[in-house]
Structure 1
Amino acid sequence: MQISVRRAKTEDAEQICQVHIASVRELCKSNYTPEQIEAWVGKLKPEGHRQAIENPNKIMFIAEIERRIAGFSELFETEVNAVYVHPNYSRQGVGKLLLNIIEQEAIAQHIERLTLSASTNAKLFYQACGYQVIEYSFHTLRSGTKIPCILMEKNLIQDSTF
């Protein structure tokens, strides 16, 4: 299976939105209630993803397998805003590849440390990629619903002056 990664284009917004919704609904259902999941993705629209792609302060990448979007990731300043993988492609290296490209972009921008707010089901994934737990917290969705999350960080540039 060949995975290619590229910058997202506005015409990708529809598929990105579909991946986002499918990922949360399927991969988060064991950690979040149906009400929390619906508050999270129930009002997602392609227009919101299109605006993120067009935002000059954000960088979004997509992973494609056989010309289908398998996942996406987003960097905003020093924060990993998103890493979502379609459930059909989970545990196949797509998420790791998308996170790695975000980290490479951050290093190119001389960013030394990335932070993120992980869903509880993604904690082990991020830990396996070198992220450390800062604290357990809650994320307030646009609807006002609070969902548990984990604030995490990773130092990208290691100090070699031990």
Structure 2
Amino acid sequence: MTHKFTHRVATKDDIPVLTSIMNASIGKLQDGFLTPEQVQASYELMGMDTQLIEDGTYYAIECEGEIVGCGGWSRRETLYGANHTKGRNPRLLDPETEAARIRAMYTHPGWARQGIGRMIMELCEGKAREEGFRTCQLMATLSGEPLYKVCGYSPVVYEEVPTSLGVNVPLIKMEKSLV
């Protein structure tokens, strides 16, 4: 069965539903890619970044009025993370010399592998291109890397990001030219 997905700019009122989708996605879609300890530690590095909603660059993906996924892009320096993640920087990027950020992509586990991720990527890359960005970067989880490769992103660096739980979470910085 083919579903018709629509998108809209996410609002503050969506935060509870979006957070629920994020938590379900983090907890389920990383199975087979990370140890249970790494999945638990991932919550420290991932989740809701309300700056994206405030900037109007975060999208809710819906099917028949139900939010089934979300994701966005940013013109700010922060590459990944939630409101609570260390190392955030709200500095605006220069589209001529710096890469836009693809951020916080999550699909509800019940809706995975149905085209939601690609829809978000196309939407975000198009918006970044409209604002003059020539490149996009993102920080991928191991479970997200296959999608990003199919969408034309190349790995730049593999990292083991330490958490307060004493567990390192593997992440991959990836990049794509928009020109």
Give the TM bin, normalised by the shorter chain.
0.7 to 0.9
What per-residue deviation string (whole Å, max 9, x for no partner) do you get for residues 6-49 of structure 1?
Answer: 1001111011001101111111021112222222237988xx55
Relative to structure 1, is the Cα distance of residues 36 and 155 closer, same or farther in structure 2, using a 3 angstrom cutoff?
same
Cα drift, residue 52 of structure 1:
4.0
| Distance in 2 of aligned mates of 1:44 and 1:81 | 10
Residues 28-107 of structure 1: matches in 2 within 5 Å? Answer: 28-41=30-43, 48-50=48-50, 52-54=52-54, 56=55, 59-77=57-75, 78-107=100-129
What per-residue deviation string (whole Å, max 9, x for no partner) do you get for residues 133-158 of structure 1?
Answer: 1121123457674310111100001x
CA contact (8 A) 1:74 1:82 kept: yes
Give unpaired runs (5+ residues) of structure 1: 158-162
| Distance in 2 of aligned mates of 1:52 and 1:145 | 27
| Distance in 2 of aligned mates of 1:139 and 1:122 | 16
| Distance in 2 of aligned mates of 1:51 and 1:151 | 21
Tell me, yes or no, if structure 1 residue 127 matches structure 2 residue 149.
yes
What per-residue deviation string (whole Å, max 9, x for no partner) do you get for residues 118-146 of structure 1?
Answer: 00111111010011111211234576743
**Corresponding residue to 1:21 among 20, 23, 44:** 23
| Distance in 2 of aligned mates of 1:111 and 1:44 | 24
Q: Percent identity?
A: 27
TM normalised by structure 1 equals: 0.85
> Secondary structure of the residue that 1:120 maps to in structure 2?
coil
The structure that is helix-richer by fraction is 1
| Distance in 2 of aligned mates of 1:44 and 1:151 | 14
Aligned to 1:160: none
> Secondary structure of the residue that 2:143 maps to in structure 1?
helix
Residue type of the alignment partner of 2:39: I
CA contact (8 A) 1:74 1:80 kept: yes
| Distance in 2 of aligned mates of 1:116 and 1:37 | 19
Cα drift, residue 83 of structure 1:
1.2
Tell me, yes or no, if structure 1 residue 7 matches structure 2 residue 9.
yes
Residue type of the alignment partner of 2:22: H
Give unpaired runs (5+ residues) of structure 2: 76-99
Aligned-pair Cα RMSD in Å? 2.2
| Distance in 1 of aligned mates of 2:41 and 2:145 | 21
